[in-house]
Amino acid sequence: MGFEGIGAAVRRREDLRFISGRGNYTDDINRPGQLHAVIIRSPHAHARIKGIDAAAAKAAPGVVAVFVGEDMAADNLGGLPCGWQVKNKDGSPMAEPPHPVLAVGKVRHVGDPVAVVIAETKGAARDAAELVSVDYEVLPAVPTLEAAQKPGAPLVHDGVAGNICYDWHLGDKDAVDAAFAKAHKVGRLELVNNRLIPNAMEPRAAVGEFDPASGDYTLYTTSQNPHVIRLLMGAFVLHIPEHKLRVVAPDVGGGFGSKIYHYAEEAIVTWAAGKVKRPVKWTAERTESFMSDAHGRDHVTVAEMAMDKDGRFLGLRVRTQANMGAYLSTFAPCVPTYLYATLLAGVYTTPAIYAEVKAVFTNSVPVDAYRGAGRPEASFLLERLVDICALEMGLDRVEIRRRNFIPSSAFPYQTPVALQYDSGDYTATLEACLKAADWAGFEARRAEAKKRGKLRGIGISTYIEACGIAPSAVVGSLGARAGLYEVANIRVNPTGSITVFTGTHSHGQGHETTFAQLIADQFGVPMSQVEIVHGDTAKIPFGMGTYGSRSLAVGGSAMVKAAEKIIAKGKRIAAHLLEASADDIEFKDGKFQVAGTDRAKALAEVSLAAYVPHNYPIEELEPGLEETAFYDPKNFTYPGGCHICEVEIDPDTGVVQVVNFCAVDDVGRVINPMIVEGQIQGGVAQGIGQALLETCVYDENGQLLSGSMMDYTLPRADDLPNIKVGTAITLCTHNPLGVKGCGEVGAIGSPPAVIGAVVDALKDYGVRHIDMPATPHKLWRIINANRPRMAAE
Amino acid sequence: MYDFAYHRPSSVADAVKLLASDPDAKVMSGGMTLIPTLKQRLARPSAIIDLSGIRDLVGISVSAGAVTIKAMTTHAAVAASAEVKKAIPALAAMAEHIGDAQVRNRGTIGGSIANHDPAADYPGAVLALGATVHTNTRKIAADDFFTGMFSTALAPDELVTAVEFPIPEKAAYVKFPNPASRYAMVGVFVAKGPAGVRVAVTGAGANGVFRHTAMEEALAKNWSPDALHDVGTAEEGLNGDIHASKEYRAHLVGVMAKRAVAKAG
């Protein structure tokens, strides 16, 4: 069984279903009598709604209903809730303006839902949607951080002065000031972390259903966390008690964070299904996805590092502005605060850190967590700043990192920004990656490239992240309005096969394989005997879903705890069957065995006895073999590692080609190395996308210029190198498997390595930093502007 | 999309008759632009006249001096044609890099030039090679065919039936794809042949494909990349957008042209 257990590169059992078109996605679900919804969205970034005339649409063929914001208000529905409250420097709560499901009075971004048309067919709904006349009074828009903070800027929400959501800080300002006062040198950097549009392969979709006989509601939705949606939508928006609301997230085709949140369309179809007493389906078109899925990143930051004469970091000062968009998406406030500023120590011993973060409302799509969520912003800032510090000191980029690393002897290591790292060996991942990338041989490759007319550069990042979020009490004290434990229910069936119900959700991560391997390993049974069930609140216990690379670290830990309970009970059953003491029973290779003898009962024999308890210690033990465990993590987990990127730039066009990319990561214990490799490669692909290709562009009126694949540059296969992935692990010390997480490391570690490489390639052009994305146009401008000077020199 | 009538005539004459009888009808060849436009409800034709049933409009023939490609011949067929590869390798190579495999298997030469998307590749080849566009009523010189962005000399009820390319002595096409859409952001087709030296620029111009006469003059004197060293491209009349300013496009015209000349040999 070892070959299927922990550490085996088992092929993903879900892939045959996915690649042969047999997945069951939300849009594949069709309910009897189903109607179709089309959402009418604002074409303006900011406008007052003076009136909506839906009479013609209501009279159109096939139309069943048209609803607007006032219809929902008349039913006393709530707005979309925010799940995290951040406090201002003075302790007062952040501004939390209402987020109506359908706009009332005003629209605040292009794509803001205004009305819904429900009809017999999608075509009829679309035809009728064109007949809805919305009378807008267009208002001046503030789509960007800069525009929203100008003195006298128009207000996105009337009650939110200066468009400031919160003004928050973390760390010890006085200690940092003192560090700068005694600094030998200071590295300073202003940077932008570019706004991204997630673009999961499967667009969002939702089907709402109401059963008038039972009063039960069901929502099928593209969610990463169905129980969270049930809680938020049931309790806060629609006021449906949880026992009357089922949320199903079936196969989901990618999320990257964008499917964590409770979206308006989910509430619309569920509520509307109750109003019209028929199922209602909505599926986003890609254009809608661009203007309604929560976007990611969008920071502007100034950072300074104080150093001593040896280049050791003394203090870090960071001022960040973060774009929240027009409304607070479910977890938006925590992204630029507790998932960002807490990571600013990175892998370094910087003793004093002070970060200030101002979150700003703008007339743009809400921004929330996107693969990495706060941590890519932190690692990009810190790793770019460390490169600047190396320049400032005249030190090699690797050397300055080595001088400042937290030594492997220092764990557990308390950072000055709240986190306590449990384990790591940053030198090990650095050395392995330097070797894999042949860092030492780079200058020869640069010289060779120069002969071909290419500018070659190399970049490095040594990053850390915090995932496996996280102890409930800790996040609660930081403003989370949710617990962040995870749950597993393991049901050993009478004949010994095993069904596992997990509160996590798989939307591309391969959980059905990884978790089956884990369970097969725990019970010593073949994977074929194990089924993983997720994504349906009617089947699984109340779990928190999948985001922040938490599924294995938290969900897998819950499975281990539940398995321990099963084995403990199994030992008592086996002891009865074998007429031995439970203390003498060992569980190994799928058998309960009396220690030191060959007397044993297989798991299937024990489970059969548990369900057919004829010969059974019924006075002491309940029948059945099913256990549930809720696991609340003791700490975050801290994956980290080293990424090295090599690029070549064509000076005539500015085109960058990534010619080499190596990642050596510490993700803790690896269950399935093939899946880990795939996760890291996918993350790196998105990181390269952010660094070189992707960016969301609004014009000054708040129109989304990068609103389709024609203008938003997602990475494609030919944009990417063959990404080399290695691991050099240390075990997490506080969870039973020693696992850390791998879903986000690729997107967190790679962007600074890529930009570092681009800057290095252009080092003779007077460049210290380049904001992402480093597009050909941007690089050509730099090359062109500096060419005459170079020629003169 | 909105409802429309659908016709699939089997002859050019029938197609023209349908087109003449309905001013709001639209002709569809490969549908690579029209179908997305319909799906987005950006067009509302009364009828679609699908030319895919007209067998006479498919095929490639090569004579001593010219390659003639019938209008409904797909890009994939041109790219794979041994005759085209031999006679005008630059044309086959260009066809091989239009869009993606799906587009190349559906999209046609007639559809591409009749649509005259300013970022399409074929208009560059037609103009640089000095091709002649055959229609159901006449022959139109390339210089007279493209009249502006999404605009041609075709009459409302006139159909492209074939494009006749004189075989050049030398030719090559090099493009800089838009990073997102992969359409030509700047594409330069250079040719030296019976029609003299011709340089056509696609992708860059706000009014669609155009000839770069300054480059033509320089190359006529000296057919080499170096001849273009001091030949600038005016920014006026070029496109500027979030991917490339006019200035950058003007610069890229020069780079692509030099590379095209080098490639042509």
The minimal CB distance from A777 to the residues B2, B40, B243 is found for B243
**Does B248 sit within 8 Å of A711, measured CB to CB?**
no
**Amino acid at position A793, single letter:** E
From the number of C-beta atoms within 10 Å of its C-beta (0-12, 13-18, 19+), residue A3 rates as exposed
**Amino acid at position A334, single letter:** C
CA distance B255 to chain A (A): 7
Rounded CA separation B108/B98 (Å) = 11
Rounded CA separation A528/A497 (Å) = 9
CA distance A91 to chain B (A): 42
**Amino acid at position A32, single letter:** P
Res. A186: pLDDT tops 70? yes
pLDDT digits (tens, 9 = 90+) for A561-611: 999 999 999 999 999 999 999 999 999 999 999 999 999 999 999 999 999
**pLDDT number for residue A470:** 83
Q: Which residue of A has its CA nearest to B245?
A: A777
**pLDDT number for residue A789:** 57
Q: Which residues in B lie closer than 8 A to residue A697 (C-beta atoms)?
A: 242
pLDDT digits (tens, 9 = 90+) for A61-107: 999 999 999 999 999 999 999 999 999 999 999 999 999 999 999 99
Number of DSSP helices (H) and strands (E) in chain A, helices first: 20, 28
Q: Which residue of A has its CA nearest to B175?
A: A653
Strand bridging mode B184-193 / A656-666 = unpaired
Res. A710: pLDDT tops 60? yes
Any CB–CB contact under 8 A between B103 and chain A? no
Helix (H, G, I), strand (E, B) or coil at B226: helix
**pLDDT number for residue B159:** 97
Residue A457: both structure tokens together:
């550069």
A508: alpha, beta or left, given left = phi > 0 and alpha = psi -120 to 50? left
Q: Which residue of A has its CA nearest to B119?
A: A710
Which of B181, B183, B186 to mutate against chain A (most A CBs within 10 Å)?
A: B181
- Nearest Cα to Cα of residue B72 among B29, B34, B101: B29
**Does B180 sit within 8 Å of A710, measured CB to CB?**
yes
CA A180 centroid distance within chain: 35
**pLDDT number for residue A206:** 98
**Does A711 sit within 8 Å of B243, measured CB to CB?**
yes
pLDDT band at A657 (very low <50, low <70, confident <90, very high): very high
**pLDDT number for residue A129:** 98
- Residue A326 phi/psi, 5-degree rounding, is -80, -30
Q: Which residues in A lie closer than 8 A to residue B246 (C-beta atoms)?
A: none
Any CB–CB contact under 8 A between B85 and chain A? no
Res. A1: pLDDT tops 50? no
Q: Which residues in B lie closer than 8 A to residue A781 (C-beta atoms)?
A: 248
The single residue listed with the structure tokens 């216990």 is A541
**pLDDT number for residue A3:** 76
From the number of C-beta atoms within 10 Å of its C-beta (0-12, 13-18, 19+), residue A622 rates as exposed
Res. A787: pLDDT tops 80? no
From the number of C-beta atoms within 10 Å of its C-beta (0-12, 13-18, 19+), residue B206 rates as middle
Any CB–CB contact under 8 A between B195 and chain A? no
Instruction: Show the domains of chain B with their CATH numbers.
Output: 1-48 (3.30.43.10), 170-264 (3.30.390.50)
Q: What distances in angstroms separate CA A109 from CA A41, A93, A148, A357, A711, one per listed residue?
A: 9, 24, 13, 23, 19
Residues of chain B whose pLDDT is less than 50?
A: none
Residue A699: both structure tokens together:
């014009």
pLDDT digits (tens, 9 = 90+) for A277-335: 999 999 999 999 999 999 999 999 999 999 999 999 999 999 999 999 999 999 999 99
Q: Which residue of A has its CA nearest to B250?
A: A653
Asked if A581 and A575 touch (Cβ cutoff 8 Å), the reply is yes
The minimal CB distance from A777 to the residues B41, B180, B245 is found for B245
Which of B252, B253, B256, B258 to mutate against chain A (most A CBs within 10 Å)?
A: B252
pLDDT band at A790 (very low <50, low <70, confident <90, very high): low
Q: Which residues contact A375 (CB under 8 A, 6 or more apart)?
A: A339, A340, A343, A465, A466, A467, A744, A748
Q: Which residues in B lie closer than 8 A to residue A780 (C-beta atoms)?
A: 248, 251
Q: Which residue of A has its CA nearest to B259?
A: A652
Listing DSSP states for A67-79 in one string gives EEHHHHHHTT---
**Does A126 sit within 8 Å of B181, measured CB to CB?**
no
Sequence length of chain B is 265
What mean pLDDT, rounded, does chain A reach? Answer: 96
**Does B179 sit within 8 Å of A775, measured CB to CB?**
yes
pLDDT digits (tens, 9 = 90+) for A122-163: 999 999 999 999 999 999 999 999 999 999 999 999 999 999
Contacts 24+ apart (CB under 8 A), A770-774: A771/A191, A771/A192, A771/A194, A772/A192, A772/A193, A772/A194, A772/A380, A772/A690, A772/A691, A772/A692, A772/A695, A773/A194, A773/A690, A773/A691, A773/A692, A773/A693, A773/A694, A773/A695, A773/A713, A774/A656, A774/A691, A774/A692
Rounded CA separation A461/A434 (Å) = 11
Asked if A506 and A519 touch (Cβ cutoff 8 Å), the reply is no
CA distance B45 to chain A (A): 15
Listing DSSP states for A705-744 in one string gives TT-STTTS----GGG---EEEEE-----SSSTT-B---SS
CA A444 centroid distance within chain: 39
Rounded CA separation B199/B197 (Å) = 7
Q: What distances in angstroms separate CA B16 from CA B113, B135, B150, B153, B205, one per listed residue?
A: 18, 11, 20, 16, 31
Q: In chain A, pLDDT over 70 holds for what percent of residues?
A: 99
Res. A33: pLDDT tops 60? yes
Q: Which residues contact A539 (CB under 8 A, 6 or more apart)?
A: A501, A533
Stretch 2-31 of chain B: residues touching chain A, C-beta under 8 Å? 2
Q: Which residues in B lie closer than 8 A to residue A776 (C-beta atoms)?
A: 179
Instruction: Show the domains of chain A with their CATH numbers.
Output: 2-16+485-631 (3.30.365.10), 31-139+201-254+259-292 (3.90.1170.50), 299-469+635-792 (3.30.365.10)
CA distance B73 to chain A (A): 26
The minimal CB distance from B179 to the residues A693, A697, A780 is found for A693
